[in-house]
Structure 1
Amino acid sequence: MSLPFSPAVAFGMALFLFVLLATGVWVNFDAHARGSDYPTAWAVFAPLSGIVLAYYLLWWRRGRPRERPPGRVERAAVTVVVAGIGGMIAGSLVSPPDPAAQLTVWPIAFACCLPVAYWVVRRRFGAAGGGNAGR
């Protein structure tokens, strides 16, 4: 049984679009820091296509070191992306296979994954001037 289009479903859809936007922002910053000639093209196509995003993450980034450390906005965007993916995985495991039901559960799972994502991103990228920035 499908849930009707409700405010909870609308909020889940808005959150999904926000995570897509954050993915584009992060890819743009990351591609620019790695010397891409077309960071905006990566930022537009990577969130819209899982194949382009997988190519960017698994192949294109590998041989290109960063020219500068990630900034505050980039770390915030990565945190939203990691929490969005984690929330989507957790939400799909605990909700029925109906997309509307998953959109109502996903914001709750996103909120639960946000502190974990913040910790992971902070540990991976380090804070500005922090001790683990070189890890």
Structure 2
Amino acid sequence: MSLLTPAVAFGAALILFVWLASGVWVNFDAHARGSDYPAVWGVFAPLTGVVISYYLLWWRRGRPREYSPSRLERATAVVVLAGLGGLVAGGLVSPPDPVSQLTTWPVAFACCLPVAYWLVERRFDASGSEDADR
């Protein structure tokens, strides 16, 4: 019996898509915050939890955005948030084997998309200000 069913292949492709979107979002965000090397952040941040944690928790703080986020940046942020939310939700409701998680995760991802869209739109209000709630 082959474990690579179409549902598992779709789940694996979706993981790669969300992983790529996280790098694209970090690249956009680093560029908007004046980084000299946003592509370096975009490449290395998704590779390890250490780099993305450093970027999100230390480097990004205290550096205001120089311009408002574009529609593409907002879309990548939605995909990344829905991907992380779907990963957590799928891991909680599916059995602990990878095949089941890869088949459950796309459904959880789709369910998290509206919530992620709402969060991103709330965070970046109509004026594009990231600090609207502060």
What TM-score range do you get, normalising by the shorter chain? over 0.9
Counterpart Cα distance in 2 of 1:77 and 1:103: 21
TM-score when normalising by structure 1: 0.92
| 1:133 Cα deviation from its structure 2 partner | 6.0
Match for residue 8 of structure 1?
Answer: 7
Q: Runs of 5+ in structure 2 lacking a partner?
A: none
The structure-2 alpha-carbon separation of the partners of 1:116 and 1:63, relative to structure 1 and needing over 3 Å to count, comes to: same
Structure 2 equivalent of residue 71 of structure 1:
70
One-letter identity of the residue aligned with 1:44 = V
| Equivalent residues, number | 131
Segments of 5+ residues of structure 1 without an aligned counterpart are none
Aligned to 1:30: 29
Segments ≥4 residues shifted beyond 3 Å: none
Paired-residue identity, %: 70
Q: In the aligned structure 2, how far is the partner of 1:40 from the partner of 1:46?
A: 10
TM-score by length of 2: 0.93
Q: Which residue of 1 aligns with 2:112?
A: 113
Q: Which amino acid aligns with 1:20?
A: W
Paired AA for residue 115 in structure 2: V
1:90-105 aligned within 5 A:
90-105=89-104
Q: Distance in 2 between matches of 1:65 and 1:24?
A: 20
